[in-house]
Amino acid sequence: GLTLRNTGATTLRAQVRIFMWQQQDGKDVLTPSTALVASPPFLNIAPGGKQMVRIIQRGGITPDTLSGERSFRILVDELPAPPVDGMGNDSQTGAQPGLNFLLRFSIPAFIVSPTGGAGAKLNWRLQNTEAGLQLVADNAGSSRAQITDLKLMDSEARVLYEHKGLAGYLLSGNSRRWSFKLPVSAAAATEIRMQVNGQPTRFPLAPADVTD
């Protein structure tokens, strides 16, 4: 399940939706899910309160019959506070005057086979393109790769480029092209180091000699 807390001074209204998560041409594609549903889908949480949202599995997907893993995104959207009366008057508990920012949280979720599969299997390369030098990866494994703290290194272990924090996800069976603004010197990189699903990992890099 998922626990939502309201640390604000007014009632929090929110909607919870679950989408099947796929990637096409390196971009995330979200489709409304029938395999997982949220209960309740709409929430009203008092100031200082909290509420549990159950994630219910439906349909034919079960860990026992699943090969590899299925990926989902849980979207939690804050809803605008309604006016207190029919005239649309504002109050402390209703819509506040001025500019109101509504929050959205996107939370990854996965159904994984009990066997675990072969995990992520990544292949990295640099490509010279009309847009400049780009970093490309393929995931031939059976599970996603969460990539953080990425570094491009040369043959003398010098850092040519560094991206701290989350660099993104690469789902199984997909390719992705990162839009990092790589310096020209990064073409000399021979190794890439990073955290993959929380584990320190390094991979060799193919030379950047192909225009795509």
| CATH number (domain holding residue 40) | 2.60.40.10
pLDDT above 80 (res 159): yes
pTM greater than 0.75 (yes/no): yes
- Using an 8 Å Cβ cutoff, are 55 and 18 in contact? yes
Q: Residue 209, Cβ neighbours under 10 Å: how many?
A: 10
Q: Is residue 38 part of a domain?
A: yes
Mean pLDDT of 46-75: 82
N- to C-terminal Cα separation, the chain: 44
Q: 160: pLDDT confidence band, cut at 50, 70 and 90? A: very high
Given 112, 140, 171, which residue is the final one in a domain? Answer: 112
Q: 137: pLDDT confidence band, cut at 50, 70 and 90? A: very high
Residues in the chain: 212
What CATH number is associated with residue 192? 2.60.40.3970
Q: 121: pLDDT confidence band, cut at 50, 70 and 90? A: very high
Quick one: DSSP state of residue 211?
A: B
Q: 84: pLDDT confidence band, cut at 50, 70 and 90? A: low
> Could you give the residue ranges of the DSSP H alpha helices within 20-170?
none
Tell me, what's the pLDDT at 169?
96
Percent of the chain at pLDDT exceeding 70: 83
Q: Which helix (H) or strand (E) holds 201?
A: strand 199-204
Q: E strands within 40-142?
A: 42-45, 50-57, 69-78, 104-112, 122-129, 132-139
Q: Residue written as tokens 């490509």? A: 127
pLDDT tens digits for range 164-205:
999 999 999 999 999 899 999 999 999 999 999 999 999 999
Given 83, 112, 141, which residue is the final one in a domain? Answer: 112
Q: Are residues 47 and 131 in the same domain?
A: no
Task: Name the residue range of residue 103's domain.
Answer: 2-112
Q: Residue 95, Cβ neighbours under 10 Å: how many?
A: 15
Q: 61: pLDDT confidence band, cut at 50, 70 and 90? A: low
Q: Residue 12, Cβ neighbours under 10 Å: how many?
A: 21
Name the residue with higher pLDDT: 89 or 50: 50
Tell me, what's the pLDDT at 209?
62
Tell me, what's the pLDDT at 54?
96
**Residue 55: what are its φ and ψ, rounded to 5°?**
-105, 110
Q: Are residues 55 and 145 in the same domain?
A: no
Percent of the chain at pLDDT exceeding 90: 67
Mean pLDDT estimate for the chain = 87
Please list, residue by residue across 57-72, b when 16 or more beta carbons sit within 10 angstroms of its beta carbon and e when fewer do.
Answer: eeeeeeeeebebbbbb
Q: Which helix (H) or strand (E) holds 36?
A: strand 36-39
Q: Which residues contact 210 (CB under 8 A, 6 or more apart)?
A: 127, 128
- Using an 8 Å Cβ cutoff, are 149 and 161 in contact? no
Tell me, what's the pLDDT at 28?
93
Residue 119, helix vs strand vs coil: coil
Mean pLDDT of 132-158: 94
Mean pLDDT of 114-142: 87
